[in-house]
Amino acid sequence: MFEQWLDVECACGKKHSLTTRDFFIERDAYANLPALLEKLQLGSKPLAVFDSNTYKAAHGTLEQYLPDTDALILQGDDIHADEKSIEAVAGALAGHSVILAVGAGVINDVTRYVSFKEGVPFISMPTAASVDGFVANAAVVTLNGMKRTMPAAAPVAVVADLDIIAAAPAYLAASGVGDMLSKYISIADWKVGSLIAGEYYCSLIAQMELDALALIAERIDGIAAGDPESIGKLMEGLVISGLAIQMASITRPASSFEHHFSHYLEVVPLNGKISTALHGEKVGIASLIAAKYYPLFAHRLERIFRENLPNRFSGQRIREYYSGCPDTLVESIIQENTPNISCNLDVPALEQHYSDVVEIADGLPSPDFLHDILKKVGGMTDYRELGMTPSHFRKIMKSCCYIRNRFTLLRLMSDYELFDFDMMDD
Ligand SMILES: [Zn+2]
Ligand SMILES: [Zn+2]
C-alpha cells in the first residue's frame, strides 16, 4: 500500500514525493529496526531520545533489538520543545548516524528540529496515537519564550509498537480521533477553495485523508475499548494523514477552521491563561461546531452574488478583535493576512458552483455522528470543557479565522458579514 505514494507523477500536475520511506505499526514493531537501519543505510550508531515515561515504556524492548543504542532521557515532568531540550539533543548527537524519537509530540518536535539543523536523519517512534503530525516536516518549538512553527525534518520512517501505543492513556487516543475528525472539514474547505477561489487541489491527497478517516471511523468501538489492533488502525490513519500533508507540501489537506480555533487558543489567553487542552481535544470540538454550522454558512454565500456584497475585511477589524493582545501578536496577525486571502474569491465562479458548494457542506457528517464518535472514545465534545463561556465562544468564532490566512467558509462569513456571531450560543 505504502509504495504507491512514495513518488507519484500526479494528475494534479505535481510530482509528490515522500521523505518518509517506510512505516511499521504492529506488535513487536521494534524487531524491524535492525533491517530498517540497513535498508535505509542509517549506520549502526543510533541515539534514542526519550522522556522518563517513554524510557520506562519502551527502552527495554528497544534494547532487545538494538543493544548498541545510546539513550538520552530528557528530564523533568513538564518538558517542552524549547532551547533546553534542543541543546540537550544536539549536544548528545556527536558520533551518531541516526536519531530515534521515542515519544509523543514534544520528543518528536525537538528531534525533528535538531535533525533538520544538524542534518542527521531520524526515525519517529510514537508512543501514543495522539496527533497526525508524526511525519510532519515542521516543528512547533518555543524559542525565546515564543511558540513558533519552524522548518524541520520529516522522519525517514515510523516505527510504532502496538502494545506500547495501546497502553498509553485513553485521552491521548481520543485526542488523535479528534485531530482526524477535522479532515471532514478541511477537505470540504479545500474543495470549496478550489471551486471558487482557484486554489490548488489534489484529489489523490484528499482521498488519502478521507480513507485514513474511514479506517478510524470503522474501528471506533475497538479504539474505545483500547483494543491494540484498532488503536493500530488509528495510528495508521494518523500516519497516512501526515503523509498526505508531506505529499502536498502544505497543511491545507489536514487543517482548516477547526485548526485555527485550536491555534487561537494556543496564543490568546482565556481568563488570563493559555489553554492546556491537547491539540486534538480542541480540534475535535471545533470540528463538531463546523459540522453544525457549515451547511448554514454555505447557504449564506448566495447573498454575495445576488446582492453584490463587498468584502469588508480590514486591518482595523483585526485590531478590534485582538484588542488586549500584545502589539507584536496583533501586528503579526495583520502581516499574516496581507494580502487578505478572501480577495481570491471569484464571484462568477461562486455563482457557477454555488450548488456544488452547498452540496459539499450539506454532505458533511452530522454533528450527532461526530458527537457519538468523540463520546465513545471519551473525548471532549463541548467548548465549555475547555473553560470557555458562550461569550468567549462568540469571540473566537469571530476572530480565529485570522490566525492563519487561509480560505474557509468561516472566513467568508466574517469578511462578507454574512453571519451574526453575536447570536451564537453553542
Ligand atoms: Zn496530486
Ligand atoms: Zn491537527
CA of 7 to the centre of ligand 1 (A): 11
CA of 242 to the centre of ligand 2 (A): 9
CA of 196 to the centre of ligand 2 (A): 25
Q: Among the bound ligands, name the one nearest to the CA of residue 186.
A: 2
Note down the domain range covering 347.
170-423
Of residues 219, 365, 374, 368, the one with CA closest to residue 285: 374
Of residues 159, 161, 160, 164, the one with CA closest to residue 35: 159
pLDDT band at 146 (very low <50, low <70, confident <90, very high): confident
Domain end point (choices 134, 166, 198) = 166
What CA–CA distance (Å, rounded) separates 195 from 344? 11
CA of 210 to the centre of ligand 2 (A): 15
Q: Among the bound ligands, name the one nearest to the CA of residue 14.
A: 1
Tell me the CATH number at 222.
1.20.1090.10
Tell me, yes or no, whether 120 and 180 share the same domain.
no
With pLDDT > 90 as the criterion, what percentage of the chain qualifies?
87
Tell me, yes or no, whether 142 and 180 share the same domain.
no
Q: Among the bound ligands, name the one nearest to the CA of residue 16.
A: 1
Average of per-residue pLDDT across 282-302: 98
Average of per-residue pLDDT across 46-70: 96
Domains in the chain: how many in total? 2
| pLDDT of 142 | 86
What CA–CA distance (Å, rounded) separates 367 from 258? 14
CA of 216 to the centre of ligand 2 (A): 15
Sequence-distant (6+) residues with CB within 8 A of 100 are 46, 47, 48, 49, 62, 69, 122, 123, 125
What CA–CA distance (Å, rounded) separates 251 from 247? 10
Tell me, yes or no, whether 125 and 233 share the same domain.
no
CA of 283 to the centre of ligand 2 (A): 7
Q: Among the bound ligands, name the one nearest to the CA of residue 278.
A: 2
| Long-range contacts at 77-85 (CB < 8 A, ≥ 24 apart) | 79/51, 79/106, 80/106, 80/142, 81/105, 81/106, 81/109, 81/110, 81/113, 81/139, 81/140, 81/141, 81/142, 82/141, 82/142, 82/143, 83/142, 83/143, 85/110
The pLDDT tens digits of the residues spanning 244-276 come to: 999 998 899 999 999 999 999 988 998 889 889
The pLDDT tens digits of the residues spanning 152-208 come to: 999 999 999 999 999 999 999 999 999 999 999 999 999 999 999 999 999 999 999
Q: Phi, psi (5° rounding) for residue 298?
A: -60, -40
Of residues 266, 283, 395, the one with CA closest to residue 329: 266
The pLDDT tens digits of the residues spanning 196-246 come to: 999 999 999 999 999 999 999 999 999 999 999 999 999 999 999 999 999
| pLDDT of 345 | 98
CA of 254 to the centre of ligand 2 (A): 7
CA of 186 to the centre of ligand 1 (A): 16
Of residues 364, 249, 228, the one with CA closest to residue 298: 364
CA of 190 to the centre of ligand 1 (A): 13
Tell me, yes or no, whether 132 and 212 share the same domain.
no
pLDDT band at 1 (very low <50, low <70, confident <90, very high): low
CA of 159 to the centre of ligand 2 (A): 20
CA of 106 to the centre of ligand 1 (A): 30
Domain end point (choices 150, 166, 182) = 166
Q: Among the bound ligands, name the one nearest to the CA of residue 202.
A: 1
376/273: higher pLDDT? 376
Domain end point (choices 115, 133, 166) = 166
